[in-house]
Structure 1
Amino acid sequence: MSKSYTPPLSPLYSRSGHHQWLNQERQRLLDFSRASRLASGGFGPLDAKGELIEGATASTMITTRMTHCFAIASLEGIPGAHALAKHGVDALLGLLQDTEHGGWYDDEKEIGKGDKQAYIHAFVALAASSAEAANIPGGHQLMEQVITVIDSHFWSDAEGCMRESFSRDWSTAEEYRGANSNMHSVEAFIALGDITGQPLWRLRALSIARQIIHLHAAHNQHAVVEHFEADWTPNREYNADNPVDPFRPYGLTPGHAFEWSRLLLNLEHSLLRYGEDTPGWLLADARQLFETACNTSWNVDGQPGIVYTVDWNEQPKIHHRMHWTLAEASAAAAALGQRTGERRYASWYRTFWDYIANYLVDLKHGSWHHELDRDNQPSALLWGGKADLYHAYQATLLPQLPLSPSLASAMRLRAQQHTNEL
């Protein structure tokens, strides 16, 4: 007698029970993160127990990312989220904005001094687009202002990418180009394209992806080159003497390859959605980025997890595990699974979420551990305390949505559809 056929299970990211778990986890993250609201304006960093650190002041990075997430939560119908998103927009239009020279400070401590960073301005653009999607008061004004700053200072038509940073008065530009700030600009530009209806933003996102991924990473075995000179010559020794720099670490950062992989698929589907020219390398490079990241970072030192950085010989440099790398890896696996239908990505998706549930989710104090050491114990080598919502929150939502439009626009469409059904 032949054995009975047992059909394969559907991918985890398509099951209703998993969606329910993701939704519950997203609500838990939201509830935890409300404590980062500062009465004086904006949002600040939390300690490992979820309390504002002593002397906390507003951080522009945290404020933008919290505003983005709370705007999406508002679209989802979460009580209190609208007011929290407005709290963030108000700080970005007031406290954290340089009213003399334009642009935004890194944080409240830098008011009246400090450089202007592309990384920060990319997140201001993302927050503004999400606030506009959610009809948060001031969102449209914020979006118009950040677009003006990007057009006037950061975007370079000649380079087809974002410049990295300037002095406060914009008189001096840094002789450095970074993949990280440009990666987050891709995310912001896709979102701006959805909100403004202007194809320019998708063309800019494609230009950045072509430069950093299709020209550089694709010729580096699809490991993402992070640091460049001003003429886009790779600088392989950048920060060799400071390998634990929290924003510009030495070597290769596999977590960014996962993040790029998903963003390339978001960009591909965004271009297709609007009937625009869509190069085939977006999918091909997304696949290869994922493969390289898995091969060079997952369980490569004998312990589960994704190592933070590797050197140019693909050997672990910083063994610590960052929560955001797992968030991005899971989202990339879901995106590739959705795009290709291949079950191998479903297997990776389960692997990543099993790790998140077993090691990162902090059931005692809330949220996720920001960082673990090579033995998967809580650590603070690079980042202490608890992270803002951004990476973990998005990881719970992305697998439940199509690859396009961008998050806030997708949630707005869902809210509109629910309204039409009433």
Structure 2
Amino acid sequence: MGLGWFGAPEHNRWLAEEMQALLRHGRAARVPAGFGWIGPDGAVDASRPVELWITGRMTFAFSLGTLLGVPGCRRYADHGVRALSRALRDRTHGGWYSAVGHELDAEGHGVPTREAARKECYQHAFVMLAAAAATAANRPGAHELLAEACRVVEAHWWDESYGMPIESYAVDWSDPEDYRGLNAAMHTVEAFLATADVTGDPVWLERAVQIIDSAVNVHARDHDWRLPEHYDTAWRPRLDYNEDAPDHPFRPYGATPGHGLEWARLTVQARAALVGRRLSAPDWMLDAAESLFDRARVDAWRVDGGPGFVYTTDFDGRPIVHERMHWVVCEGISAAAAIRQALLDDGRGEIEVELYEHCYRTWLDYAEEFLIASPGVWWHELDSSNAPSARTWDGHPDIYHALQAVLMPRLPVWPSMAQAIAEGRLDRPSSAPPVEEHGRGSRRRGLFGRG
């Protein structure tokens, strides 16, 4: 089918070699309190604190490396679990600090920095994701960390009245922010899907689908598949939010095509999870994923005279920020692979998957030509001429997006990445067999007393 990249031995060898190089590069991020920001020189940037989202992402990455059997990854995964369980955890109020210093205090705890003034849903989502992956890898303390992350979500982050997460609080859980954002909601979906697979608790899948339903059927459809990123507390779009900060790394003005690609991938993953559990998957999910993918591709790929995705557009599809972010290409690669596999799992033919195979090859070639500075080292940002840039991202902060981009083509759409690897699904990307035949009883049931 196509040009035969998917599943071809030499292609999988290239993906595997890049995956191992990324994990080698990521080791440089280790500091006593967790994982730091890797600067342009390949060393930790001492001017930046240890941030919760980076430590969560790197713990997730090294947990995947552990599951894959990459030597050395266990000690880095275990370091991450310890950092999340102790150095970054708020022992007074619960939950996790957004940032601490690199060194531990005399009692072995992290020291909160000024960046820790608020607790953020976005950052907590990566604690849950990391804990789920580390639990799948059976790392010491991971089960307890995941149980605590679930408790914190139940207590503070889940807003049952809207079926959506809350954005942020002061460090003592007072002063909830007068803002809601789809970026935090999106990563919450990812964490919920992973947690549902590892624990076997269907509530996390149900909530993930609720969030996707709102993002897709309320907001994306109303804006011609361009997703508004910013909302008030009643989830009414704020289309002019951050108009004076269009290149914001987490809350940019306008639409973010990369997030459209990411939502497309998550939508087919949630759909596959429903099907895999013999639950009814809504008819709209696969079509919606394809619509999100198409809108992002048409709006953002090669729209300003050269290869690459622009970072943001307005709500008519006109580019605003022309810099190319590595994570957008990574999410394009992952989404193309996931939708292609979802179509094949549905029995679709070569013609229907051809677009996704073409996009996958094109975007992976782009990454190889422009983004990969050396094995495992990806430029996080390029300018409109595809030269390295630091307008928004300086250095190589983490390996999370790139690692998923080189693993997604080798894995099924469901279960989620860590659980799929734990169940021996690497290079077996066809749809998972029914739950009763899938080892769920021994692998997933009852970690927290819930089937």
Find out whether 1:58 has 2:47 as its counterpart.
no
- Percent same amino acid at aligned positions? 41
CA deviation map 1:73-108 (0-9, x unaligned)? 101101110110010010111111111001111111
The 5-angstrom pairing of residues 12-411 of structure 1 reads 12-38=5-31, 40-109=32-101, 111=112, 113-341=116-344, 342-363=353-374, 366-411=376-421
Aligned AA for 1:370? H
Q: SS state of the match for residue 108, structure 1?
A: strand
CA deviation map 1:140-199 (0-9, x unaligned)? 111011111100011011110101011111121111110000000111001110111111
Task: State the shift of 1:281 in Å.
Answer: 1.1
What CA RMSD, in Å, does the superposition of the two structures yield over aligned residues? Answer: 1.8
Q: SS state of the match for residue 12, structure 1?
A: coil
Task: State the shift of 1:313 in Å.
Answer: 2.2
Aligned AA for 1:151? E
Q: SS state of the match for residue 248, structure 1?
A: coil
Tell whether the 8 Å contact from 1:240 to 1:250 is kept in structure 2 after alignment: yes
Q: SS state of the match for residue 25, structure 1?
A: helix
Q: SS state of the match for residue 341, structure 2?
A: helix
> Which consecutive unaligned segments of at least 5 residues does structure 1 have?
1-7
Q: SS state of the match for residue 405, structure 2?
A: helix
Aligned AA for 2:357? A
CA distance in structure 2 between the partners assigned to 1:13 and 1:329 by the alignment: 16
Query: Measured at CA, do residues 415 and 326 of structure 1 come closer, stay the same or move farther in structure 2, by a change above 3 Å?
Result: closer
Task: State the shift of 1:55 in Å.
Answer: 4.2
Task: State the shift of 1:366 in Å.
Answer: 5.0
CA deviation map 1:32-63 (0-9, x unaligned)? 1111101x220001112311123454221111
Query: Measured at CA, do residues 172 and 221 of structure 1 come closer, stay the same or move farther in structure 2, by a change above 3 Å?
Result: same
Q: SS state of the match for residue 13, structure 1?
A: coil
Higher strand share: 2
Q: Which residue of 2 aligns with 1:3?
A: none
Tell whether the 8 Å contact from 2:414 to 2:420 is kept in structure 1 after alignment: yes
Tell whether the 8 Å contact from 1:368 to 1:387 is kept in structure 2 after alignment: no
Scaled by the length of structure 2, the TM-score of the pair is 0.88
Query: Measured at CA, do residues 416 and 220 of structure 1 come closer, stay the same or move farther in structure 2, by a change above 3 Å?
Result: closer
CA distance in structure 2 between the partners assigned to 1:260 and 1:16 by the alignment: 29
Q: SS state of the match for residue 342, structure 2?
A: helix
CA distance in structure 2 between the partners assigned to 1:335 and 1:127 by the alignment: 21
CA deviation map 1:103-136 (0-9, x unaligned)? 1111115717511100011110000000111011
Tell whether the 8 Å contact from 1:75 to 1:415 is kept in structure 2 after alignment: no
Aligned AA for 1:258? L
Query: Measured at CA, do residues 415 and 275 of structure 1 come closer, stay the same or move farther in structure 2, by a change above 3 Å?
Result: closer
Task: State the shift of 1:277 in Å.
Answer: 2.1
Tell whether the 8 Å contact from 2:23 to 2:376 is kept in structure 1 after alignment: no
Tell whether the 8 Å contact from 2:410 to 2:426 is kept in structure 1 after alignment: no
CA distance in structure 1 between the partners assigned to 2:355 and 2:316 by the alignment: 27
Q: Which residue of 2 aligns with 1:4?
A: none
Tell whether the 8 Å contact from 1:47 to 1:385 is kept in structure 2 after alignment: yes
Aligned AA for 2:96? W
Query: Measured at CA, do residues 264 and 19 of structure 1 come closer, stay the same or move farther in structure 2, by a change above 3 Å?
Result: same
CA distance in structure 1 between the partners assigned to 2:70 and 2:397 by the alignment: 21
Q: Which residue of 1 aligns with 2:442?
A: none
Q: SS state of the match for residue 362, structure 1?
A: strand
Scaled by the length of structure 1, the TM-score of the pair is 0.94
CA distance in structure 1 between the partners assigned to 2:134 and 2:246 by the alignment: 36
CA distance in structure 2 between the partners assigned to 1:328 and 1:56 by the alignment: 26
Aligned AA for 2:20? Q
